[in-house]
Amino acid sequence: MTSSSVTRPGVEPGRSSSAITTAAWDAAVAAIRAVPLDAEVQLICHVNPDGDALGSMLGFALGLRRLGFTGLRATFPGDFDVPEPYRALPGAELLVPEPQAYGKPQLILIFDVAGESRLGALAGLLDAGIPAIVLDHHASNTGLGDVTLVDPAAVATSVVADELLTRLGVELDAEIAECLYVALATDTGSFKFVRSPSVHELAARLIATGISPGDIARRIFDTRPFGAMKLAGEVLGRAILDPAAAGGRGMVWTYATTADLERHHQRPYVLDSLIDPVRGVAEADVAVVVKELTAGEWSVSLRSKGGVDVSAVAVALGGGGHRLAAGFTAYGTPDDVIAQIVPLLEANLS
């Protein structure tokens, strides 16, 4: 882990995981340096973007802007509906709706995307002969793109983004740091799921730029519309505990429909944080929230406390993620979705 890093100029020893080879880092740096500063550069993150997707993408975009790139655009597939907490992120002015991504980019950078299904129609850009660099941390990453910087040991894609910025000679400033911090805090559950001291070392470097973690946390995690709180009360109130599921380890699940959202005048992103109180249920190892995207189409969030490999469950159902946090898209009724999941929990006990 540390031995090869001493040979890399400009990079602190011990920061990067061995999962990404020196050749891959060098290829990414070379691909970026090969592009003229006034060329169109398209940054993309996953559908229904979260804090890591938007934070790592915009933080990296701001780093490229510091290097002098002038043709930067950032986007994500589907409705151009940036979750309210992320609208004020530095660099948000670089965000454009998906249709504007189909210009003539000379380079594509993809963030926090485990597979083509998370890119929607934008996946077509991967077949257009444009060099594509992928920064990600999903163990289930399918290897999309031309240069793949995928580190399953990284807690967030922003860890990979930070290292690539360092290798490009970009110094952190408060704007870049705010984006990367939001990404890091989001994917670590506000630093609850940290696996290595290097996460806090990165956080320390980000905070040293002058950003305010308390203000950021309040804005991103602790502020919600009144209607979202009322909606959460209903969705959590209908949760079901199945103690026999997952070989007796237990599963707790609930669902939210588009009608629920409409009744409370809320946007879909407000449902994404509901997995956290559900996964806190002591009697269950596995937590599931089934969220309706459009009539009969559901986005499913899976969490485990360690008794089940939910990434394997999600992959079996066409999705992806991490061992303890994963997701997939499903069809039918919430009961149909749960009926698909239950036998796979038994098959993926860990």
Q: How many residues bind ligand AMP (CB under 6 A)?
A: 16
Q: Which stretch in 49-57, 99-107, 145-153, 317-325 sits in contact with Mn ion by CB under 5 A?
A: 49-57
Q: Given the complex with ligand AMP, which of 40 and 50 has the nearer CB atom?
A: 50
Residue 260 phi/psi, 5-degree rounding, is: -60, -45
Residue with structure tokens 């189409």?
A: 297
Please count the other Cβ atoms lying within 10 Å of the Cβ belonging to residue 8. 17
Question: How many whole angstroms separate alpha carbon 123 and alpha carbon 102?
Answer: 11
Integer Rg of the chain from CA? 20
28 is written with which tokens?
């990414």
* Residues 60-89 close enough to bind Mn ion by CB under 5 A: none
The answer to whether 22 and 5 are in contact (CB under 8 A) is no
One-letter amino acid at 339 equals A
Cβ contacts of 123 within 8 Å, gap of 6 or more:
116, 117, 144
Site mask for ligand AMP (CB under 6 A), range 137-176, x = bound: -x--------------------------------------
Give the residue, chosen from 55, 90, 321, 334, that forms a contact with ligand AMP under the rule CB under 6 A: 321
Amino acid at 299: S
Q: How many CB atoms lie within 10 A of CB 247?
A: 13
What are φ and ψ of residue 320, in 5° steps? -175, -170
Residues 160-189 that bind Mn ion (CB under 5 A): 187
Quote the CA–CA distance of 47 and 162 in Å, as a whole number. Answer: 22
Which is closer to Mn ion, CB of 185 or CB of 287? 185
Total of chain residues touching Mn ion, rule CB under 5 A: 6
Q: What are phi and psi of 43, to 5 degrees?
A: -100, 140
Min dist CB 113 to ligand AMP, Å, is 8
55 interacts with ligand AMP by CB under 6 A: no
Give the footprint of ligand AMP on residues 260-299 (CB under 6 A): 275
Q: Which is nearer to Mn ion, 86 or 253 (CB)?
A: 86
What is each CA distance from 298 to 115, 191, 229, 334, in whole angstroms?
18, 28, 21, 8
**Residues 107-126 within binding reach of ligand AMP (CB under 6 A):** 114-115, 117-118
Residue nearest ligand AMP by beta-carbon distance: 327
Q: Is 29 helix (H, G, I), strand (E, B) or coil?
A: helix
Q: Is 328 in the site for ligand AMP (CB under 6 A)?
A: yes
Smallest gap from Cβ 173 to ligand AMP, in A, equals 28
- The option from ligand AMP, Mn ion, none interacting with 320 (CB < 5 to 8 A, set by class) reads ligand AMP
- Using rule CB under 5 A, residue 53 touches Mn ion: yes
Closest approach of ligand AMP to the CB of residue 265, in Å: 22
Q: Which positions lie near ligand AMP, rule CB under 6 A?
A: 114-115, 117-118, 138, 275, 301, 319-322, 325-329
